[in-house]
Amino acid sequence: MAFEKIVLDKVAKVLGQDCQAYFVNGTLFVRASEPKARKVFSMLFKDYNGKVQPSLVGYEYAYDFVA
């Protein structure tokens, strides 16, 4: 769970207080506008050496951390 807390703290800094982020089964879900979701992806991509796969699920963005 430490990994999830670290990631959520990083995401909160990017998004600010008006957006929501949470984990389900190891996948990060973010409720945000597309520009903010892109900023989240850019940060995650840089911080985790490109091992992040984004996708759109309904009205949320999902980020999977891959090996």
Residue spans of the domains in the chain: they are 2-65
Please tell me the distance from the alpha carbon of residue 54 to that of residue 63, in angstroms, as a whole number: 4
Instruction: Give the model confidence (pLDDT) of 18-33 as tens digits.
Output: 679 999 999 999 999 9
Q: Give, in words, the CATH class of 2-65.
A: alpha beta
Residue 35, pLDDT > 80, answer: yes
CB 33 within 8 A of CB 10: no
- Global pTM reads 0.91
